[in-house]
Structure 1
Amino acid sequence: MSLSTVRRNDGLSQNLNLSADVKALQETLNLLGFDAGKADGKFGSGTEAVVKEFQTKNDLEADGVVGSGTWKVLLSQAYPKLKLEDGWKQNLELNDKVKLMQTKLNDAGFNVGNPDGKFGPGTEKQVKAFQSSNGLGADGVVGTGTWSALLKGGSGAPSVQFESSLATPEKIAHVFECPVSQTQQYFPGVLAAMDKWQILDRLTLIGLCATIRIETGGFRPINEYGGTRYFTRMYEGRRDLGNTQRGDGARFHGRGYVQITGRANYREYSRKLGLGNKLVDDPQLALNAVYAAEIIARYFKDRNVDDACRAQDWRRARRLVNGGYNGWGEFDHFVKRGLSML
């Protein structure tokens, strides 16, 4: 999972799905002593100026665009290769980088426990699991490719190894007309979350997958479509969403499979998932595949969407998710395909 080319306005007024890449850029610049300010995932004029400063000092074309060449230099300077026993029995000077790596693994849903800066067997196990789930060589060594995936947010679903006789990722891709690469990456995690919250049955699976398909346009967690101005106009000051602080409208816009929106919902699901205030402190984590799957599964259970699916009351199922019937025609289309093919 390589980091994408990013430029001015990405994650700000356009290309919101690149905000994780922009945030990784800002974090890396700050780590190297280039003051990019708060890592907020918004590529504004300040970030552009710092990028040009970095490019100039490293004899790169100072165009403010962070492509593969600039990323390569950034990553090589900021993130050393890490392996078993680093920060622990050898290379003690790497302790802080190991701790950062462990924190990123935890954020991606690969639990290494309390980040202690010691690259032990437990950390190596989670590194390999993360690498497997992101299409990387599972050698347990954290090189540039693994760092890139970690910085991007680890959006690949972990290697859950969860299967069900109800459907395979390939079947889901066919039924719901979405890329098989996405279902192979994310569907096992969705199954695991449904099983965890005890809503895994054929009819609920059909309704949930149809929901993911029309809410995301495929089968992966996404940012709500729109920009900062749109989110501010729609959500700023909405007390019914818990948006009581300035900037909450844009900060807590929809993310994930089911597009949870508003400070109150981020707080609610952060606590329901046992994350404390993690989703409030860093709303981008709602795009993490593990958390996104658990949010939609818990959402279905809490709002009795699973009951509506099992009763085959599909209009009610759509209303419980959408608050109305927006997208009903497409939802009905995919439900009917699911009923006839699964």
Structure 2
Amino acid sequence: MATLKRGMRNNEVRELQEKLKQAGFNPGAIDGHFGGATERALRAFQTSEGLLVDGIAGPQTLASLSADIEPDPPLAIASVTVERVSKMFPSTPRVNIETNLPPVLSSLVASELADKNMVLMALATIRAETAGFLPISEGKSRFNTSPGGHPFDLYDNRRDLGNQGKPDGDLFKGRGYIQLTGRDNYARIGEKIGLGNELVENPDRANEPEVAADVLAAFLKVKERRIKEAIVRGDLRAARRLVNGGSHGLERFRRAFRTGETVII
């Protein structure tokens, strides 16, 4: 079993209880029934180990317990089909999903973000940022360009983005599935995905599907713990804010995430 949670009753739960007791977290009766005492012991163990405290024994928790329970392949990934994702992107041409979904899923698996919540987080983020399921460049708007100014002039001197004046605003405008923005972010994420300084030297590469997928996964990986905590609390606004910094696209994000919960196993 890849995941053990309250209400389950089997030998894997018994093994989990034994491991918790050995670790010093008493689950009560070793009876193979995942009840309240087992959940409380598990939460205490997760807190002690700095894990996501959700009371669910997933692969990371089981690995920390050194449990002899063989995790299954990432079930969420296995159930993410073009047909199901199309329900999350109701107005998107199917061909866009067929083309761009495979590199996104490959990057999530490579970054160990293949659990259901992080898969939904990635897909809902794409839905909020680029409804067409294509890596795209940020468009000119009143938020990035002053009246009569050259495109993206309001980004040129954004020190918080690491920009160094014209033409950095235009060079390092938002791109990809997640709208990577700013010289510092292009440099930092480029290093993380193994491109070195390539994204700084050639920013348009952030719109290549494979690169855009790696950028998305790398960005989510940095925020993984906080994103999961927000989702466990049911706070999708907070999860969205961790990526976007605000609530732009929140309703699209929320609708896609909730739809995905029902169609992806």
Q: TM-score, normalised by structure 1?
A: 0.50
Partner in structure 1 of residue 139 of structure 2: 225
Partner in structure 2 of residue 340 of structure 1: 262
2:89·2:131 contact (CA, 8 Å) conserved in 1?
no
Partner in structure 1 of residue 96 of structure 2: 182
- Pick one of 141, 164, 179 that aligns with 2:77: 164
CA 269–243 in structure 1, closer or farther in 2 if over 3 Å, else same: same
- Pick one of 224, 228, 235 that aligns with 1:307: 228
CA 315–205 in structure 1, closer or farther in 2 if over 3 Å, else same: same
Partner in structure 2 of residue 238 of structure 1: 158
Aligned-residue CA RMSD (Å): 2.0
2:87·2:259 contact (CA, 8 Å) conserved in 1?
no
Residue pairs, 1:1-342, within 5 angstroms:
164-177=77-90, 178-226=92-140, 229=149, 231-304=151-224, 306-308=227-229, 310-311=231-232, 312-342=234-264
Shift of 1:339: 1.4
Query: Which segments of 5 or more consecutive residues in structure 2 lack a partner in the other structure?
Result: 1-75
Q: TM-score, normalised by structure 2?
A: 0.63
The secondary structure found in structure 2 opposite 1:326 is: coil
Percent identity between the aligned chains? 37
Shift of 1:217: 1.8
Deviation track 1:70-89 (CA, whole Å, cap 9, x = no partner) reads xxxxxxxxxxxxxxxxxxxx
Shift of 1:209: 0.6
1:203·1:309 contact (CA, 8 Å) conserved in 2?
no
Amino acid of the structure 1 residue aligned with 2:96: Q
Determine the C-alpha separation between the residues in 2 that align with 1:170 and 1:309.
28
Shift of 1:234: 2.6
Determine the C-alpha separation between the residues in 2 that align with 1:189 and 1:308.
26
Determine the C-alpha separation between the residues in 1 that align with 2:230 and 2:114.
11
Amino acid of the structure 1 residue aligned with 2:125: T
Shift of 1:164: 3.4
Amino acid of the structure 2 residue aligned with 1:317: A
Amino acid of the structure 2 residue aligned with 1:173: S
Deviation track 1:228-268 (CA, whole Å, cap 9, x = no partner) reads 75743330111110101431011100000000111100011
The secondary structure found in structure 2 opposite 1:164 is: helix
Deviation track 1:68-121 (CA, whole Å, cap 9, x = no partner) reads xxxxxxxxxxxxxxxxxxxxxxxxxxxxxxxxxxxxxxxxxxxxxxxxxxxxxx
Q: Which has the higher relative contact order, 1 or 2, with Cα contacts under 8 A spaced 6 or more apart?
A: 2
2:172·2:203 contact (CA, 8 Å) conserved in 1?
yes
1:170·1:184 contact (CA, 8 Å) conserved in 2?
no
CA 272–236 in structure 1, closer or farther in 2 if over 3 Å, else same: same
